[in-house]
Amino acid sequence: MMDRLFFALLTIFTLGHLHCRAQKYVPFPYRIEKEVLADSAAVVSAHPLATQAGLDILRQGGNAVDAAVAVQFALAVVYPQAGNIGGGGFLIYRDKNGGTAALDFREKAPAAATETMYQDTAGRVLSALSRFGIFACGVPGSVDGMWQAHRKYGRLPWPLLLKPAIQLADKGYQITGQEAMQLNEEKGNFIRYNKMVPVFVQVQDWQAGDWLIQKDLATTLHRIAGAGRDGFYTGPVAALLVHEMQKHNGLITEADLKNYTSVWRAPLEFDWQGLRLVCMPPPSSGGLLLRQMLGMLGDTGLSASGLHTAKTVHRIVEIERRAFADRAEHMGDPDFWPVPAQALAAPDYLALRMADFDPEKATSSGQVKAGKLRESEETTHFNIVDAQGNAVAVTTTLNDSYGSRVVVGGAGFILNNEMDDFSAKPGAPNLYGAIGGKANAIAPGKRPLSSMTPTIISENGQLSLVVGTPGGTTIPTSVFQVILNVYIFDLPLLDAVHQKRFHHQWLPDAIQIEEGGLPEEVVGRLEQMGHTVKTRSPIGRVEAILRQADGKLRAVADNRGDDAAGGY
């Protein structure tokens, strides 16, 4: 009876959108450029319509931060699996004179959260609670993050920056084949975790070219455009979010929303082989992992070993293994845990970490522990360089694809499942298999540890590379490998980004490689060394902008998705 009632309601819902289906055979309205050479400015993001929104703002006189705001909100419409206003992220900024800043708009645990909230009475981890449904949601930070970035660096009026997103939500856009496939795969989850049928569900399967119209989201964006951050954290939108929580016995309250604040943090900056890297500090593990991995690499003559040879892969994997062991033990929200960032990056310490490295034999992860010191894969990334030379790298996320799958009724946006990035219990793996401990335990108002690694690199005081990617725990290793591809192996940027990737994160103890990522003889040699090698789905979706010697900008979008580059 309930099933018949649901499908009757779903049919009524779909009939209200038949004008969308009638337009599904309209030719696909935009091209997806994977590489662009620009004279003045460039944008690269996970969706061509978001890239276009950023370019339009730049052409209207906006700067890199203005364009970042436009791209962020556009992605919340056209890339709902990761673009968001119901999640959070990190922003790295470098101005034309070399000044830098880092903005943490990561989600927070609600005030009612407890350290054992995802354990049963026997201490067993209830993993589904932190991954699906209302109980998995942290307090969103994206809207406040964009508001704070704009207040500090923006040039154009705030409402103008949200106009592209509002139009895309209100008038709709045609989805790609990849988007159709993902929406079809998630249909059951959207039905299960929502009391009302969300716009992402229809009776027949989605197809490439179908129109997705999001009227509720358009109304929400109108309110944010008019009232800024208060249009989300107070007033009607906040009331709808809290009502959604109450319907499902969730934890986020009006006070949680009202009290949310983004944090400007000192960027993690360091030098490597004549380059200056600017990264995100904790609660992102990404910048610190990148610093550790580049430090452990040292001057090993990696280029002479060759790209993707067994010798090269073996060394990189052993470095990644040791860095992720440290992540599990020492990294968390610095407002709650004393992260020993300087000690973890000290040259003597990194040399000690590699002291037992055997160039001919794999080290079992069971033998690799965190160093002794004296002192989630669905994310999205975008880069922008404006005509003045200001650069922004932003990584933003709902954590898993489509987050908690909960859509706020009447407001039209998806809530994150970022609570899964905490350690539900010391030693228990999260969605991405990452192990955590006390440093990343749940606490009210705490931000979960992240792997996001937005990075800006300069050389001789001049902007060189802006890079980042989604991919959960594969984010730091993907950025690491792209940096090596560019600066060690001298690959053209397109090849550096599109090159097959591999990953190791200590536990589980296996090298993950993309299908066809390594020659069979290399895999065989690695297995002889004692490595376990497993094939997996594509790793990350790297976006990158490189300033060439002639001053032009080469922007590259990953070929693993619908990502698009643009410039002028």
CATH number at residue 473: 3.60.20.40
Which of 405, 454, 386, 397 minimizes the C-alpha distance to 131? 405
pLDDT digits (tens, 9 = 90+) for 64-74: 999 999 999 99
Q: Does residue 483 share a domain with residue 422?
A: no
Above 90 in pLDDT, residue 369?
Answer: no
Q: Does residue 459 share a domain with residue 357?
A: yes
Domain, as residue range, for 418: 53-75+103-264+378-440
Averaged confidence pLDDT in the chain = 92
- Give the angle 136-141-146 at the CA atoms, nearest 5°: 150
Q: Does residue 371 share a domain with residue 474?
A: yes
* pLDDT at site 11: 38
How confident is residue 432, by pLDDT bands cut at 50, 70 and 90?
Answer: low
The backbone region for 295, taken as left when phi is positive above 0, alpha when psi lies in -120 to 50, beta otherwise, is: alpha
Q: Does residue 108 share a domain with residue 204?
A: yes
Above 70 in pLDDT, residue 375?
Answer: no
Above 60 in pLDDT, residue 407?
Answer: yes
563's tokens: 């990502």
* pLDDT at site 425: 84
Q: Does residue 306 share a domain with residue 339?
A: yes
pLDDT digits (tens, 9 = 90+) for 203-257: 999 999 999 999 999 999 999 999 999 999 999 999 999 999 999 989 999 999 9
Q: What is the DSSP letter of 367?
A: G
* pLDDT at site 277: 98
How confident is residue 7, by pLDDT bands cut at 50, 70 and 90?
Answer: very low
Q: Does residue 284 share a domain with residue 173?
A: no
* pLDDT at site 105: 98
Range among 115-124, 369-378, 419-428 rated most confident: 115-124
Q: Does residue 239 share a domain with residue 279?
A: no
**Cα-to-chain-centroid distance, residue 435:** 19
Catalytic annotation present for 477: no
pLDDT digits (tens, 9 = 90+) for 161-172: 999 999 999 999
More confident residue, 29 or 264: 264
Whether the CB-CB separation of 369 and 67 falls below 8 Å is answered with no
Rounded Cα gap, residues 257 and 252, in angstroms: 7
Q: Does residue 294 share a domain with residue 230?
A: no
Q: Does residue 300 share a domain with residue 239?
A: no
Counting the structural domains of the chain, the total is: 2
Q: Among the options 220, 253, 379, 455, which is catalytic?
A: 379
Q: Does residue 288 share a domain with residue 313?
A: yes
Q: Does residue 222 share a domain with residue 336?
A: no
